[in-house]
Amino acid sequence: MARQLQTLVGLFSLLLIVLMITGSQAGVITVYWGQNGVGGQNENEGSLADTCATGNYGIVNIAFLYKFGNGQTPSINLANHCDPTTNGCTGLSNDIKACQNQGIKVILSIGGATDTYTLSSADDARSVANYLWNNFLGGQSDSRPLGDAVLDGIDFDIEAGTTEHWDELAKALSEFSQQKKVYLTAAPQCPFPDARLGAALNTGLFDYVWVQFYNNGQCEYSGNADNLKSYWNDKWTTIQAGQIFLGLPASPEAAGSGYIPPDVLNNDVLPSIKGSPKYGGIMLWSKYFDNGYSSAVKPNV
């Protein structure tokens, strides 16, 4: 009996050593959906339900709530998927629920590359937080743009507007987690710290941060991954956040620069970044451009 126990202890110790040596953990793939609707060249993105049914993604960001703040009437833009001005996007509620029933988190992304949003004050930030809670999250409103489905959280893709008050928006949203968990996510640029989201990320309130390692020459892959690895290991994985994701274009056409071929990601980049205990997976921009990329890398993510 003692000899069997010693054998079991030895095997358990060996397993722990192997895990420590590999230092890797399973991650998930996050994808943005909503900016390439049906019709013409946009038909490849497919529906939200189809996106989740692929089985490739663990989190889907609906993009974007592109207008809000400073007294503006908030507006969502989902390209040709639906027309929010006629309540045409409320039908997405069933798709959202279908995704969630598969264990996939569905997040509303606010911001984007337009200059149609801003926050003018702390009070403005709280007002936007209340709007988001009542119209997309666990609150109540007669005019919920995506119907009665309750989204899992809010993604900060802040690429324009003010550099201030995003921390106050994060704090205001996090307070609603006392009623129902609100996941906070962010998509900062890879130059560190992010010019607009630095203060918000310093709150330590963000569950997931997918860093955009593209369209930023100093920290992206450009035939060589050394700068990317340096920014990942020495900067981004040091922030106070639940998990950090490597944000990438899903095809060469998805961004101006920073595309990483699947074999390079699998064999060079992922083995170098998965050792971080904060590694959460990768983020792809976007579903429209993901014509096989996620399938090619998912086993290694």
Q: Which residues are part of the catalytic machinery?
A: 159
The 3-class SS string of the chain reads CHHHHHHHHHHHHHHHHHHHHHCCCCCEEEEEECCCCCCHHHHHHCCHHHHHHCCCCCEEEEEEEEEECCCCCCEECCCCCCCHHHCCCCCHHHHHHHHHHCCCEEEEEEEECCCCECCCCHHHHHHHHHHHHHHHCCCCCCCCCCCCCCCCEEEEEECCCCCCCHHHHHHHHHHHHHCCCCEEEECCECCCCCCCCHHHHCCCCCCEEEEECCCCCCCCCCCCCHHHHHHHHHCHHHCCCCEEEEEEECCHHHCCCCCCCHHHHHHHHHHHHCCCCCEEEEEEECHHHCCCHHHHHHHHC
Which amino acid does the sequence have at 70?
Answer: N
CA–CA distance, 228 with 237 (Å, rounded to integer): 12
115 burial class (0-12, 13-18, 19+ CB within 10 angstroms)? exposed
Number of neighbours of residue 57 by Cβ within 10 angstroms: 26
Whole-angstrom CA distances from 61 to 85, 139, 156 are: 21, 20, 10
